[in-house]
Amino acid sequence: MIKIGNINLPEHPLLLAPMEDVSDPPFRRLCKMHGADMMYSEFISSEGLIRDAIKSKMKLDIFDYERPVGIQIFGGDEEAMAMSAKIVETVQPDLVDINFGCPVKKVVCKGAGAGVLKDIDLMVRLTKAVVKSTNLPVTVKTRLGWDESSINIDEVAERLQDVGVQALTIHARTRAQMYKGHSDWTHIERIKNNPRIQIPIFGNGDIDSPEKAKEYKERFGLDGMMIGRAAIGYPWIFNEIKHYLATGEFLAPPTMSQRLEAAKNHLQWSMEWKGERVGIVEMRRHYANYFKGISGFKPHRMRLVTEDNPEVLLKIFDEIEDFYKHNPLG
């Protein structure tokens, strides 16, 4: 069993990564249904929370069926990070996570996310400020370093543990790599094998199949793994990995009916949480992922992404299901 503060996780847990414009409550709900052991909110700007920015506040929404769930914050100012951690605490998540890994330019330019990888002393001060300001467990998600010539994760891991971080997730790329090239988990393996490190170490990057999850589990010996992009439009990956790790056998891929049900649930929950109009529009980018590789789906997707009426949309789902009943996959 893996422990983070008072949170008990199963052996080798699978975590859903915090992804901007993806890891919202409707998507997290689907991933929980399909086997995710712990999840995180989209990352939230500490400055936005303090300014009472509507979008930032909305990201604080969590629901009991998601637990355990962490809220992730980012920023480059100690006072703002401490204050935002106190705000986060009021909605009673299971933990607070700090983002020191986001490589996006608009975040890095503010001296936040992966931008902090250039200044470990600042990273430690920011973390310490959050740890001191909350009674919740504090965890961190970060990267190997700024670029290939400045991989500093060994020092980062030890110093973050020393100031009270209770788990560390490492995306096995540098900021310079963004999401390209291969992730290198040998660096994370080295952290896990460091006798000074006592906290759980989770790996992130390129886990996109049950076979790869098994290979990485056996090869690197980490406490668990975090899955991000591979879950977009495919929440089944969590249970598929668990089943393969337990039995060595593959679960059958989701049927067309199951894909339609997941996408329809995602749409309905998005409309409930975001409002009808926003829920419909923001759901459009997900359909391609739910029906990736499905022969002849393009005309159906075009109907889904151009329709604004929720009742008509739900009817389209029924019509698609009926079509594929008479034209089975494969």
Mind telling me the catalytic residues? 102
Beta strands 7-9 and 2-4 are antiparallel
Which residues contact residue 48 at a Cβ distance below 8 angstroms, ignoring those fewer than 6 apart?
Answer: 55, 56
> Closest by alpha carbon to 34, among 258, 288, 271?
258
> Closest by alpha carbon to 71, among 23, 1, 120?
23
CA dihedral 240→23→155→197, nearest 10 degrees, is -50
Alpha-carbon distance of 15 to 242, in angstroms, equals: 12
DSSP-assigned letter for residue 205: S
Q: Which two tokens stand for residue 288?
A: 């391609």
Q: Which two tokens stand for residue 231?
A: 């879950």
Judge contact between 168 and 157, C-beta under 8 A: yes
The CB density around residue 197, as the number of other CB atoms within 10 Å, is 17
Alpha-carbon distance of 189 to 187, in angstroms, equals: 5
Q: Which two tokens stand for residue 279?
A: 């829920």
Alpha-carbon distance of 112 to 220, in angstroms, equals: 29
Cα dist from 279 to 24, 64, 68, 146, 179, whole Å: 11, 22, 25, 36, 27
- Return the H-helix or E-strand segment holding 323: helix 310-326
Alpha-carbon distance of 233 to 251, in angstroms, equals: 17
| Helix 256-274 / helix 310-326 crossing angle, nearest 10 deg | 170
